Amino acid sequence: MRINGIISAMLTPLNEDETINETELRNQVNRQINAGVAAVFCLGTNGEFYAFDKDEKKKIIDIVVDEANGRIPILAGTGCVTTMETVEMTDYAKSAGVSAVSIISPYFAGISQEGLYQHFSAVADECQMPVIMYNIPARTGVNIHYETVKKLAENPYIIGIKDSSGNFDNTLRYIEETPNDFIVLCGNDSLILWTLMAGGNGGISGVTNIFPEHMVSIYEKFVEGDFEGAKKAQDQIRCIRDCFAGYNPNSVVKRAAALLGYPVGPARSPFAIDDEVLDNKLLAAFKVFEGIK
């Protein structure tokens, strides 16, 4: 399985009572497909995977797969704290028809590089479906070392990694130390173009929830050989990214989508943001973004 381009780290719409808004979830799947994303990724950080119980996660996967109806690859976040739980969720995602799973490093409890190796290997071998590892050390407390990734890349079911470390050298080592057919995806919207230039495959983007067509254009212009156009598109999201400072980033993304008129609801408590200062920053950033397009 090969995925190249911009993958939407899609949010999970909620009603005001924090139940899943199925109608808007389906709408957001179509919104991303119509924008030209390479794949949709549900239950990532922007999808608030950490806020849902097992049954809710299964419901979200089912809705997204059903609405996509084979038009586009679907990735689902199935990583849990323990290997046993991760296998269970991954088996469910496989039976539901997802194309690949994204598995975050186990979090809260400390884990060694050997522990990471054993965890990812066990899930891949047990479930026998494409696995894209998810490296986000700021949230998990551990960085997946490039030597560990190099070993894991030998497993036929482990096909790639999303790097949300924000450390570009870390991403480079993943690219350098793995085979050419191993997928390396940027998890930081600000580094997508530079990851592509270094030989990576694209990015899993949270800003697609705000301006999906624009994020897709970074990859499209790069593939066309229009570096100046790709760089301009990459630079233009800086005003949006600057709004994340001091807040939970994926809560900001959801608030931004709501301000654009999409009924995506709040982030699940206690991570919802109702902040006039932030709203004003986002509205000002929208004006700047439109002004420089």
Closest residue by Cα to residue 4 from 199, 265, 211, 178: 199
The set of residues, in sequence order, having a beta carbon less than 8 Å from that of 187 and lying 6+ positions away, is 9, 134, 135, 136, 162, 163, 164, 165, 203, 204
Q: Kindly report whether the global pTM for this prediction surpasses the value 0.85.
A: yes
State the Cα–Cα distance between residues 250 and 141, nearest whole angstrom: 18
pLDDT at residue 2 in the model: 81
Check whether 210 has a pLDDT greater than 90. yes
Amino acid present at 57: K
Q: What confidence tens digit (pLDDT) does each residue in 211-240 have?
A: 999 999 999 999 999 999 999 999 999 999
The set of residues, in sequence order, having a beta carbon less than 8 Å from that of 93 and lying 6+ positions away, is 61, 76, 78, 101, 129
Q: In this structure, are residues 111 and 138 in contact, taking their beta carbons and an 8 Å threshold? A: no
| Whether 54 is catalytic | no
Catalytic residue, candidates 57, 92, 157, 162: 162
Q: In this structure, are residues 164 and 136 in contact, taking their beta carbons and an 8 Å threshold? A: yes
Cis peptide before 270 (omega within 30 of 0): yes
State the Cα–Cα distance between residues 104 and 81, nearest whole angstrom: 9
**DSSP states of 18-31 as a string?**
S-B-HHHHHHHHHH
The set of residues, in sequence order, having a beta carbon less than 8 Å from that of 16 and lying 6+ positions away, is 265, 266
Measured from the Cβ of residue 216, the count of other Cβ atoms closer than 10 Å reads: 22
Please state the rounded mean pLDDT for residues 137-161: 98
Q: What confidence tens digit (pLDDT) does each residue in 179-201 have?
A: 999 999 999 999 999 999 999 99
Catalytic residue, candidates 117, 134, 174, 219: 134
Per-residue tokens: 53? 């119980």
Percent of the chain with pLDDT over 90: 97
Tell me which CATH code domain 5-224 carries.
3.20.20.70
Residues forming beta bridges with residue 163, ordered by sequence position: 135, 186
- Give the CA count within 13 Å in the CB-facing half-sphere of 252: 19
Q: How far apart are the first and last CA of the chain?
A: 34
Check whether 292 has a pLDDT greater than 70. no
Closest residue by Cα to residue 41 from 105, 126, 134: 134
Exposure letters 230-259 (e unless 16+ CB within 10 A, then b) = bbebbebbebbbebbeebbbbbbbbbbbbe
| Whether 162 is catalytic | yes
Q: In this structure, are residues 56 and 25 in contact, taking their beta carbons and an 8 Å threshold? A: no
Q: What confidence tens digit (pLDDT) does each residue in 250-269 have?
A: 999 999 999 999 999 999 99
State the Cα–Cα distance between residues 256 and 69, nearest whole angstrom: 28
